[in-house]
């Protein structure tokens, strides 16, 4: 059993402000350690479920937050951005059996979402075939392209609700709950226990999870929060300007849509 673990930081226990996720800022090192600990909890759960290969993808900001020596020895780690199309899903291919998301956040404009955004801060909404998606939804489409299901998500309460609406039989662990700009937090040690148990359960019961696929044709709409990126993006071959701040692109091949998204955002 091969498991791909994609880790973000905004959805890690205790994280409440963007500064806490930025290298060099106050408390970043503390929350970086929490990121390591929650990743290790997921790795331990995967091992208990019988994983034979575990690849961890550092998916936050510089993609150089996780340190190899701080992770369980059984895991492999992908750091930094390659410049390719897969971004947070770098390293995933058809050989994997399951995707695990740790430390993720809700989409832009989600009520009471903790540090909510969708990929780039300039994206107001991302829709595929009319369905508004958070980052985990877009990344799940990359996994679905390879026939790999999402089985587990941890992060704030809002992203866990969004995961349950998108992915059949997914196991979720909400580590905190947004209250406007504030958040109600649960003890990190307890959350690590829940993550470990949740990943184990999700992998043992993964037969009930299906790859996230939205049909035979894809129409991607990107709504920016200002006009300039939409103007620039309409020069991409096949892109259509459908509004002051909105671009649309359609293809039978999701890889074409992924290429469109990466180049215009």
What are the b/e assignments for 18-41, b being 16+ CB within 10 Å?
eebbbeeeeebeebbebbbbbbbb
The DSSP bridge pattern shows strands 75-78 and 53-58 to be parallel
> What is the number of alpha carbons within 13 Å of residue 220 lying toward its C-beta?
25
36, 104, 105, 117: which is the annotated catalytic residue?
A: 117
Cβ(12)–Cβ(175) below 8 Å: yes
Q: Which of 247, 211, 218 lies closest to 230 in space, CA to CA?
A: 247
What would the two tokens of residue 17 be?
């402000």
What would the two tokens of residue 52 be?
């034979």
Active site residue 117: yes
CA distance 34 to 90: 23
CA distance 12 to 20: 11
- 3-class secondary-structure state, position 174: strand
Q: Which of 34, 62, 45 lies closest to 3 in space, CA to CA?
A: 45
Which positions are annotated as active-site residues? 117
């Amino acid at each position: 059993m091969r498991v791909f673990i994609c880790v973000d930081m905004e959805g890690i226990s205790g994280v409440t402000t963007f500064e806490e996720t930025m290298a060099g800022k106050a408390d970043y090192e503390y929350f970086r350690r929490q990121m390591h600990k929650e990743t290790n909890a997921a790795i331990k759960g995967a091992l208990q479920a019988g994983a034979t290969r575990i690849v961890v993808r550092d998916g936050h900001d510089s993609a150089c937050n996780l340190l190899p020596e701080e992770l369980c020895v059984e895991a492999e780690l992908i750091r930094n951005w390659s410049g390719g199309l897969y971004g947070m899903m770098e390293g995933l291919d058809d050989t994997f059996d399951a995707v695990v998301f740790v430390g993720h956040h809700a989409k832009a404009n989600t009520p009471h979402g903790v540090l909510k955004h969708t990929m780039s801060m300039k994206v107001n909404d991302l829709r595929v075939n009319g369905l508004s998606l958070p980052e985990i939804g877009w990344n799940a489409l990359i996994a679905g392209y390879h026939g790999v299901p999402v089985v587990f998500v941890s992060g704030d309460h809002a992203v866990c609700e969004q995961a349950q609406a998108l992915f059949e039989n997914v196991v979720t662990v909400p580590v905190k709950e947004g209250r406007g700009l504030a958040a109600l937090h649960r003890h990190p040690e307890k959350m690590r226990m829940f993550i470990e148990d949740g990943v184990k359960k999700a992998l043992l019961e993964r037969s009930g999870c299906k790859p996230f696929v939205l049909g035979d044709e894809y129409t991607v709409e990107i709504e920016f929060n200002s006009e300039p990126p939409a103007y620039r993006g309409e020069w991409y071959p096949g892109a259509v300007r459908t509004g002051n701040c909105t671009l649309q692109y359609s293809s039978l091949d999701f890889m074409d849509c992924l290429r469109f998204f990466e180049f215009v955002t």
